[in-house]
Amino acid sequence: MAIRSAVTISLVPEARGGPFVFWDDLAGACRKASELGFDAVEIFPPGPDEVDPVALRTLLAGHGLALAAVGTGAGWVKHRLNLVHPESSVRSRARDFIRAIIDFAGPFQAPAIIGSMQGRSGDGVDAATAAGYLADALEELGEHAKNYGVPLVYEPLNRYETNMANTVEAGMVILRSLSTRNVVLLADLFHMNIEEANLPAAIRAGRGAIGHVHFVDSNRRPAGLGHIDFAPIVAALEEIEYQGYVSAEAFPYPDPDSAAERTMQAFRQYFRNDGA
Ligand SMILES: [Mn+2]
């Protein structure tokens, strides 16, 4: 199994302005992704019940695409839910939302991603309490994902978006504290560019823990349109025998089709498995 390419599609109007390559039109985005040679799409849905799984299966099969992963961030963006909220009813609804996304994505052999739904400590929850809430949720949801033979993906974010885990190492500390072994990390090169001292070293240290990659440049534009030096990062991913997706979670800069094309150019340039 080689490293595979994916591209993001947002179906959440409230996320407009966010780092997603394609927007709103699932069928059109799948057609374009397939034309450009992507292996898969990563979907950011408004909720677990808002994409018809039968229609999605037909669409993916028709375009020869896999589902790389499904984001859960609409729970935060649309409903202001998160896993470390001071109110237990909100935490519980956050878990329900993510569990339902796992149930949607699982039959496609796709993992759910916890990014913004991790919330942050402060505002009524101290750091230790929040860490406990997050760990409990990862235990339960990670075990739930096992029902589908997929991991649960946890994403460290930069300091402006969370204080739960900002680096691969901080993410690994959380993973090591869990009894479930079914949670993996998302290495998002945009967040890492802000937080890591050395991106290739952080990836090498994440061997065995990194299960998904957001392939994006320093300014959150498509790979190649910022100042990240990708060659040593790709070498580190190959060195740790990373076998997941590199998924373009980037601004649709200068427009969605061009962003997808630039990403595919970069993918072909850097990853050996795509006929470059
Ligand atoms: Mn990301």
List, run by run, the mean pLDDT of 10-residue segments along the chain (276 residues).
Answer: 93 95 98 98 97 98 98 98 98 98 98 98 95 98 98 98 98 98 98 98 98 98 98 97 98 98 97 58
| Residues within 5 Å of ion ligand 1, judged at the Cβ atom | 188, 214, 249
Query: Are the beta carbons of 200 and 235 closer than 8 angstroms?
Result: yes
Indicate the SS3 state at residue 1: coil
- Specify the pLDDT at position 1: 64
Spacing, Cα 249 to ligand 1 middle (Å)? 6
C-alpha to C-alpha distance for 45 and 252, rounded to whole angstroms: 17
Count CA atoms closer than 13 A to 240's CA, side-chain side: 21
* pLDDT tens-digit map of 92-121: 999 999 999 999 999 999 999 999 999 999
Q: Which of 42, 195, 196, 249 is catalytic?
A: 249
DSSP state of 121: S
**Residues near 130 by beta carbon (within 8 Å), at least 6 away in sequence:** 84, 119, 120, 121, 164
- Specify the pLDDT at position 77: 97
- Specify the pLDDT at position 123: 80
Query: Are the beta carbons of 13 and 24 closer than 8 angstroms?
Result: yes
Q: Is 50 a catalytic residue?
A: no
Query: Are the beta carbons of 137 and 95 closer than 8 angstroms?
Result: yes
Q: Mutual orientation of helices 53-63 and 26-36 as an angle, nearest 10°?
A: 20
Radius of gyration of the chain (CA): 17
Q: Is 155 a catalytic residue?
A: yes
C-alpha to C-alpha distance for 121 and 6, rounded to whole angstroms: 32
Spacing, Cα 89 to ligand 1 middle (Å)? 27
Spacing, Cα 247 to ligand 1 middle (Å)? 9
- Specify the pLDDT at position 272: 67
C-alpha to C-alpha distance for 127 and 129, rounded to whole angstroms: 6
Spacing, Cα 154 to ligand 1 middle (Å)? 10
Spacing, Cα 146 to ligand 1 middle (Å)? 22
b/e code 74-93 from CB counts within 10 Å (16+ = b): bbbbebebbbbbeeeebbeb
**Residues near 168 by beta carbon (within 8 Å), at least 6 away in sequence:** 156, 185, 187, 192, 196, 202, 203, 205, 206, 209, 210
For residue 50, count CB atoms less than 10 angstroms from its CB and return exposed for 0-12, middle for 13-18, buried for 19 or more. exposed
Question: Which CATH architecture is the domain 4-271 placed in?
Answer: Alpha-Beta Barrel (3.20)
Count CA atoms closer than 13 A to 95's CA, side-chain side: 19
C-alpha to C-alpha distance for 104 and 36, rounded to whole angstroms: 26
**Residues near 198 by beta carbon (within 8 Å), at least 6 away in sequence:** none
Q: Which of 14, 143, 155, 169 is catalytic?
A: 155
